[in-house]
Amino acid sequence: MENIKELQGGDVDLEISLLEYGLLIGKNSQCTELDEWFVIARYGNAFTIGYLTESFIIGLMNGSESWFVPNDVLKCCDQTLEEFSDMAFVNQLSSVIDYYGVDDILGSSYCHYDIFEINTMLGTDFDTED
């Protein structure tokens, strides 16, 4: 996989973002839409990857899907819709995944990665000790 750029997490420290909070986002050449992000999310004891657009999350929060209840997410993260909308996308995504889970937001994945594979993918040296 080629270079992942603009890595972001919920914490300033990307290692903490991934290993403790379970989420990193970034950009690569597969991101064909301006608001599309490459996503690495914790999935049990491993990680899964996928692609997601900011407009998808905005749509969910505006009621585009009948199964998604925006007010439940807002209550969970103790935010109003306006406050939620002002958060960085990585924090919005984290809140949505925290409430609904990775499968419901990124879709089911049968390909999971350990931290060694994530380090290779990102060119990082995140802690590999449990």
Q: Render pLDDT for 96-105 as a digit per residue (tens, 0 to 9).
A: 999 999 999 9
The dihedral built from the CA positions of residue 114, 37, 82 and 16, taken in this order, carries a sign that is positive
Cβ contacts of 67 within 8 Å, gap of 6 or more: 104
Structural element, H or E, at residue 37: strand 36-43
Amino acid sitting at position 5 = K
Per the CB < 8 A criterion, the answer to whether 59 and 65 are in contact is yes
Q: Within 10 A of 95 (CB to CB), how many other CB atoms are there? A: 21
Report the half-sphere exposure of 70 (CA within 13 A, side-chain side).
Answer: 18
In the structure, what pLDDT confidence band is assigned to residue 128 with cuts at 50, 70 and 90? confident
Residue 1, CB half-sphere, CA atoms under 13 Å: how many? 17
Does the structure show a pLDDT above 90 at 70? yes
111, 31, 94, 81 alpha-carbon torsion, rounded to 10°: -140
pLDDT at residue 74 greater than cutoff 90: yes
Amino acid, single-letter form, for residue 43: Y
